[in-house]
């Protein structure tokens, strides 16, 4: 592990001496700080728990510590560690990663030695809200352990920008008093990184006129959609829904935040506008990230798909939309005859289209950033030729936004823009019978037009850089090889390639190319997301996002140790990471090429992200200055009210009617909870109300409140799913069989409306698809079943407490013994459940008279022998007795004739 930098050492010492919450700027190395703490406590003498880490992050931390020579590595608690051995596992000490569900259960059942815990490290601390599992763990820990530490880390300052006193509430849930803020503009960070600045070459690439026109059109449409949305919903007149924010990444979350609580009240027009905003944002992203063919394909699909065309809110008919389509097509092809061009635009008839397709002349506008990238690679190549002073040629790392962009760049570098775009066009738009003919015509047109096109660079570069080819091949042969090779790469990386031209080329050639590209790069690197380009010097392309391992790029950066980094797409976190990387390797050269479209939404998106983080830190600094922190916040003594488990207020008046108001002997309330329920926040809230929880694995029900009351909890999505697949019916059968009071609890999300269906949409008749109809049938079928409707988990916890009053406590052993296959009924072992179910299905027998019938008759065989009068005496109702007698004794023929007579 690299030594900590000056400002990192300062943060480490501050946090080591006094517990607190550290909020760092993105990319400033919060993971390095946590690693330093992990390394400090990786010894058997201490027991430290780490919360809120995902398996890939845990893997990364363990790998880093292993490479650093740490002997007692962190361990993971998973379901594979059995309950019996769990206590021993914890007492072996060291650092332990565990899921929240396991830790909650272990704290409640005392499988973890709470008093021996040295402390807890909380990662991604901005997620610690009051009712989450991690907050429950910290509360249980502080109730049982007053001396251990709690240290929290996060690099998401923007998350604290929402809500009232968000940071103060998070600190309260973390039981910490100190707040450490380390923005990028902190004087210690800024002065240190200024001393170790990498050499940065900013290249502002100009967009082509067509791209600029398309961007303007999309922004106009976006603006019109936002205006329309606010016109239909005046409640949305807020700053957050501005055009500047609409092009940023978090916009989807913002709009859902405002619309979710009233989603069921919104009209079709508003929902359609929200969908259109999503589509327009995707178009904006595709414009700068991918090539002209991919963009046009997405755009044409909006008109081609009847569903998308029908659901569109009207923006497809605006002038800006027409301009966007015209410019997008002009980037890919033009139609030779101007009259036909006009006609083709105005008419949608397929006959005209087919006629026009033969007249198309390919333009295939190259992406301006590709040209800039080629120039950069040429410059790096020239520098590497004279690199003896630096100890040989430098490695190159190219970073693009995602997997698809990386695959496209790799093909461009190896094949050149012309070959790549022609193949992509042929694959996307040349799928009809005349595709081959069109393609040959297009190639001739392009070649006759543009032999002087500056496309020789990448072609020549391919010959230079590919490890196997020493001399330049003839152009025709090279083109065929390239198309074949790109086809193979595309098939692997994105989707199956249409078997058009590449079918004719030999598979042996294909496999040899495949080997040339991949085999040299497969072994060395710790990430599986990279795309190898050249072997010597090593040049690879890596996506900034979308890898299964969040630290894949960090691993590659430290493994490859590039001298040149090309940022094809800008991403704030990685830019900062490069600053830290340069500062941790003083004396070693690093040059960063920063490619960005000048005056584009891409540039605006980057600047907005920077501004939002800066504003978030400024707000946090102001909040910190005025924050009032109680002395007992850390909960190290009994004065912290957050640790008191009691719903009763101090002002609760004693009831004087019971023995003159003397204090009644209270019984500790208990609820048996199914293990799987610890994924929800309800157990935490029940425990907070002073009720003990016994976590066990239940087969019937989720919560056992009393020996007679069993509750099955369903969220709305779960309710709909289990009604559709029949699971809820089976659960209700089991609950009704084994418990006197089966309860179905329907729990709503507190952030969403407390309404199962929109107002005014109740069906007149029962329908098999309607959720209310299904619930009605369920209650008719199970008369004993009670349904509880709860607006939030807080309301549920309060309701449970009231339902338990003056009732005996449940027994966990008995609850565990009840399974769906149990033959013996807990309440009475007189009856067999199979015949009982059969009886209830017979006409004339219902839940009210079933018990009387079973008391008088020993078996079904005996029931058949009874006369109608005897049945009348037992059932107490002549109609029911006749119904039952006829069902048993009537033959099929008699039943049919009787039915005919009725008609």
Helices 368-385 & 456-465, crossing angle to 10 degrees?
40
**Average pLDDT of the segment spanning 861-884:** 85
Bond from prior residue into 537 cis (ω within 30 degrees of 0): yes
Q: Kindly report which listed range (407-416, 578-587, 636-645) carries the lowest average pLDDT score.
A: 636-645
Q: Where are the alpha helices (DSSP H) in 318-474?
A: 319-332, 338-346, 350-359, 368-385, 403-415, 417-429, 435-449, 456-465
Structure tokens at 715: 């969220």
Sheet holding 94-98, edge to edge: 75-77, 94-98, 47-51, 119-122, 149-154, 20-24, 178-182
**Could you report the per-residue pLDDT of 466-490, keeping only the tens digit for each?**
333 323 333 333 333 333 333 333 3
β-partners of residue 595 are: 203
CA dist., res. 581 & res. 5, Å (int):
10
Residue of 49, 40, 42 lying closest to 119 (CA atoms)? 49
pLDDT of residue 119: 93
pLDDT of residue 350: 42
3 state SS of 119 = strand
**Could you report the per-residue pLDDT of 326-350, keeping only the tens digit for each?**
998 888 888 765 444 444 444 444 4
Q: Kindly report which listed range (183-192, 554-563, 658-667) carries the lowest average pLDDT score.
A: 658-667
User: In whole numbers, what is the pLDDT of the chain averaged over residues?
Assistant: 78
**Could you report the per-residue pLDDT of 162-183, keeping only the tens digit for each?**
777 888 989 988 999 999 999 9
Structure tokens at 464: 């230079």
CA dist., res. 278 & res. 302, Å (int):
13
pLDDT of residue 424: 87
Assess contact for 559 and 533: CB atoms under 8 A. Answer: no
Structure tokens at 870: 């005897």
Residues 6+ apart with CB under 8 A from 571: 399, 401, 544, 545
pLDDT of residue 833: 66
CA dist., res. 533 & res. 528, Å (int):
14
Sheet holding 709-715, edge to edge: 692-696, 670-674, 703-704, 709-715, 741-747, 786-790
Q: Please state the φ and ψ torsions of residue 196, each to the nearest 5 degrees.
A: -120, 45
Helices 475-493 & 417-429, crossing angle to 10 degrees?
60
CA dist., res. 669 & res. 692, Å (int):
6
Q: Please state the φ and ψ torsions of residue 536, each to the nearest 5 degrees.
A: -140, 110
Residue of 314, 129, 114, 345 lying closest to 224 (CA atoms)? 314
Residue of 578, 536, 584, 526 lying closest to 556 (CA atoms)? 526
Question: How many CB atoms are located within 10 Å of the residue 841 CB?
Answer: 7
pLDDT of residue 183: 92
CA dist., res. 126 & res. 168, Å (int):
11
pTM: 0.77
pLDDT of residue 99: 87
Confidence of residue 463 (pLDDT cuts 50, 70, 90): very low
pLDDT of residue 646: 65
**Average pLDDT of the segment spanning 97-121:** 89
Residue of 491, 874, 679, 662 lying closest to 102 (CA atoms)? 679
pLDDT of residue 318: 84
Assess contact for 368 and 206: CB atoms under 8 A. Answer: yes
444 class by beta-carbon count within 10 Å (0-12 exposed, 13-18 middle, 19+ buried): exposed
Structure tokens at 684: 């935490």
Instruction: Using the Cα atoms of residue 713, residue 718, residue 724 and residue 730 in order, give the sign of their dihedral.
Output: negative
**Average pLDDT of the segment spanning 886-891:** 83
Confidence of residue 33 (pLDDT cuts 50, 70, 90): very high
What is the longest distance spanned by two Cα atoms in the chain? 113
β 47-51/199-205 pair status: unpaired
**Average pLDDT of the segment spanning 371-391:** 83
**Could you report the per-residue pLDDT of 743-780, keeping only the tens digit for each?**
999 998 887 777 776 655 555 666 667 778 888 888 88
**Could you report the per-residue pLDDT of 217-268, keeping only the tens digit for each?**
999 999 988 888 888 877 776 777 788 877 877 787 778 777 777 776 677 7
Confidence of residue 40 (pLDDT cuts 50, 70, 90): very high
CA dist., res. 230 & res. 273, Å (int):
10
Percent of the chain at pLDDT exceeding 70: 78
Q: Where are the alpha helices (DSSP H) in 726-867?
A: 727-738, 771-781, 793-804, 812-817, 833-841, 850-856, 860-865
Structure tokens at 360: 């198309």
pLDDT of residue 866: 86
pLDDT of residue 498: 33
Assess contact for 444 and 514: CB atoms under 8 A. Answer: no
Exposure class string for 606-639: b at 16+ Cβ within 10 A, else e: bebbeebbeebbebbeebbeeeeeeebbbbeeee
Q: How many C-alpha atoms does 129 have within 13 Å on its Cβ side?
A: 11
Assess contact for 620 and 160: CB atoms under 8 A. Answer: yes
**Could you report the per-residue pLDDT of 550-573, keeping only the tens digit for each?**
888 888 888 888 889 999 988 889
Q: Which of 134-138, 436-440, 586-590 has the highest mean pLDDT?
A: 134-138
Structure tokens at 646: 């009691």
Residue carrying structure tokens 């199914």? 674
CA dist., res. 755 & res. 789, Å (int):
10
C-alpha distances out from residue 574 to 8, 28, 398, 588, 773, Å: 18, 9, 12, 19, 53
The continuous run of DSSP H or E covering 786 comes out as: strand 786-790
Does position 389 have pLDDT exceeding 70, yes or no? no
Residue of 603, 599, 608, 606 lying closest to 208 (CA atoms)? 599
Residue of 684, 688, 710 lying closest to 814 (CA atoms)? 710
Does position 892 have pLDDT exceeding 60, yes or no? yes
pLDDT of residue 717: 83
β-partners of residue 200 are: 592
CA dist., res. 296 & res. 286, Å (int):
10
pLDDT of residue 308: 61
pLDDT of residue 474: 32
**Average pLDDT of the segment spanning 385-409:** 83
Residue of 859, 817, 865 lying closest to 836 (CA atoms)? 859
**Could you report the per-residue pLDDT of 802-846, keeping only the tens digit for each?**
998 888 899 888 888 887 665 545 444 456 667 777 887 888 888
Q: Kindly report which listed range (278-292, 469-483, 657-671) carries the lowest average pLDDT score.
A: 469-483
SS3 for 504-515 is HCCHHHHHHHHH
Structure tokens at 293: 């063919």
Structure tokens at 760: 């005014």
Question: How many CB atoms are located within 10 Å of the residue 503 CB?
Answer: 10
Q: Kindly report which listed range (16-25, 176-185, 224-233, 651-660) carries the lowest average pLDDT score.
A: 651-660
pLDDT of residue 880: 86
Residue carrying structure tokens 């040629």? 393
3 state SS of 673 = strand
Percent of the chain at pLDDT exceeding 90: 19
Question: C-alpha angle with apex 844: 842 to 846, nearest 5 degrees?
Answer: 80
Question: How many CB atoms are located within 10 Å of the residue 786 CB?
Answer: 14
3 state SS of 715 = strand
Structure tokens at 282: 């995707």
392: which DSSP letter? S
Assess contact for 611 and 582: CB atoms under 8 A. Answer: no
Whats the size of the chain, residue-wise? Answer: 903
390: which DSSP letter? G
Q: Greater confidence, 269 or 369?
A: 369
Does position 864 have pLDDT exceeding 80, yes or no? yes
903 class by beta-carbon count within 10 Å (0-12 exposed, 13-18 middle, 19+ buried): exposed
CA dist., res. 354 & res. 359, Å (int):
9
């Amino acid at each position: 592990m690299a030594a900590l930098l000056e400002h990192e050492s300062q943060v480490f010492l501050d946090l080591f001496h006094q517990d607190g919450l550290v909020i760092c700027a993105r990319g400033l190395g919060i993971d390095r700080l946590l690693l330093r703490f992990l390394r400090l406590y990786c010894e058997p003498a201490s027991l430290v728990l780490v919360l809120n880490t995902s398996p890939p992050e845990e893997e990364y931390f363990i790998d880093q510590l292993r490479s650093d020579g740490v002997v007692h590595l962190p361990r993971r608690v998973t379901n594979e560690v059995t309950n019996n051995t769990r206590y021993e596992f914890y007492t072996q000490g060291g650092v332990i990663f565990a899921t929240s569900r396991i830790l909650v259960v272990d704290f409640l059942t005392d499988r973890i030695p709470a008093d021996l815990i040295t402390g807890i490290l909380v990662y991604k601390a901005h997620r610690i809200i009051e009712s989450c599992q991690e907050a429950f763990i910290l509360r249980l820990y502080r109730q049982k352990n007053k001396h251990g530490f709690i240290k929290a880390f996060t690099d998401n300052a923007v998350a604290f920008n929402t809500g009232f006193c968000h940071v103060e509430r998070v600190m309260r849930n973390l039981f910490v008093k100190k707040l450490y803020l380390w923005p990028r503009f902190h004087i210690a960070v800024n002065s240190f990184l200024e001393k170790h600045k990498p050499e940065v070459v900013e290249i502002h690439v100009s967009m082509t006129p067509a791209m600029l026109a398309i961007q303007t059109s999309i922004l106009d449409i976006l603006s019109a959609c936002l205006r329309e949305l606010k016109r239909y919903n005046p409640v949305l007149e807020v700053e957050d829904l501005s055009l500047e924010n609409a092009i940023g990444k978090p916009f989807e979350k913002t709009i859902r935040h405002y619309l979710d609580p009233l989603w069921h009240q919104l009209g079709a027009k508003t929902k359609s506008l929200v969908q259109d905003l999503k589509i327009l944002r995707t178009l904006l992203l595709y414009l700068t990230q991918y090539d002209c063919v991919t963009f046009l394909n997405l755009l044409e699909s909006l008109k081609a798909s009847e569903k998308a065309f029908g659901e569109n809110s009207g923006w497809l008919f605006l002038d800006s939309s027409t301009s966007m389509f015209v410019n997008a097509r002009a980037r890919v092809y033009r139609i030779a005859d101007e009259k036909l061009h006009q006609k083709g635009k105005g008419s949608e008839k397929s006959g005209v289209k087919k006629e026009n397709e033969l007249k198309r002349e390919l333009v295939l506008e190259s992406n301006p950033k590709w040209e800039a990238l080629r120039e950069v690679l040429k410059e790096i190549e020239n520098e590497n030729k004279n690199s003896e002073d630096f100890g040989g040629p430098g490695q190159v790392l190219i970073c693009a936004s995602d997997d698809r962009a990386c695959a496209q760049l790799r093909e461009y570098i190896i094949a050149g823009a012309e070959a790549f775009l022609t193949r992509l066009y042929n694959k996307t738009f040349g799928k009809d019978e005349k595709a081959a003919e069109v393609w040959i015509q297009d190639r001739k047109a392009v070649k006759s037009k543009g032999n002087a096109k500056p496309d020789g660079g990448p072609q020549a570069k391919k010959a230079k850089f590919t490890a196997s080819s020493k001399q330049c091949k003839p152009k025709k042969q090279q083109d065929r090889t390239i198309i074949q090779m790109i086809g193979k790469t595309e098939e692997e990386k994105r989707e199956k390639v249409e078997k058009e031209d590449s079918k004719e080329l030999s598979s042996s050639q294909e496999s040899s190319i495949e080997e040339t590209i991949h085999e040299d790069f497969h072994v060395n690197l710790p990430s599986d997301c990279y795309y190898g380009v050249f072997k010597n010097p090593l040049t690879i392309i890596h996506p900034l996002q979308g890898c299964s391992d969040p630290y894949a790029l960090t691993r590659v950066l430290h493994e490859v140790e590039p001298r040149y980094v090309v940022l094809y797409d800008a991403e704030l976190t990685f830019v900062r990471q490069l600053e830290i990387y340069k500062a941790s390797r003083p004396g070693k050269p690093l040059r960063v090429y920063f490619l960005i479209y000048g005056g584009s939404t891409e540039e605006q998106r980057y600047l907005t992200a920077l501004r939002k983080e800066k504003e978030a830190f400024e707000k946090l600094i102001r909040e910190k200055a005025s924050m009032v922190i109680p002395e007992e916040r850390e909960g190290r003594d009994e004065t912290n009210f957050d640790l008191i488990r009691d719903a009763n207020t101090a002002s609760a008046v004693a009831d004087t009617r019971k023995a003159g108001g003397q204090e009644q002997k209270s019984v500790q309330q208990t609820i048996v909870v199914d293990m799987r329920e610890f994924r929800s926040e309800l157990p935490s809230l029940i425990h907070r109300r002073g009720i003990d929880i016994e976590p066990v694995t239940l087969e019937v029900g989720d919560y056992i409140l009393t020996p007679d009351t069993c509750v099955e909890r369903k969220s709305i999505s779960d309710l709909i799913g289990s009604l559709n697949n029949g699971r809820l019916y089976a659960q209700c059968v089991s609950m009704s069989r084994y418990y006197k009071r089966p309860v179905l609890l329907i729990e709503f999300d507190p952030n969403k409306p407390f309404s199962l269906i929109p107002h005014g949409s109740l069906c007149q008749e029962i329908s098999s698809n309607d959720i209310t109809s299904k619930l009605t049938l369920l209650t008719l079928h199970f008369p004993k079943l009670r349904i509880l409707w709860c607006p939030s988990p807080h309301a549920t916890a309060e309701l449970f407490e009231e339902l338990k009053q003056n009732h005996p406590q449940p027994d966990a052993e008995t609850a565990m013994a009840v399974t769906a296959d149990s033959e013996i009924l807990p309440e009475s072992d007189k009856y067999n459940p199979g015949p009982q179910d059969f009886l209830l299905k017979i006409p004339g027998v219902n839940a009210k008279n079933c018990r009387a019938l079973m008391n008088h008759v020993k078996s079904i065989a005996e029931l058949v022998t009874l006369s109608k009068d005897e049945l009348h005496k037992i059932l107490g109702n002549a109609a029911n007795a006749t119904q039952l007698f006829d069902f048993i004794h009537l033959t099929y023929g008699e039943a049919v004739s009787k039915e005919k007579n009725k008609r």
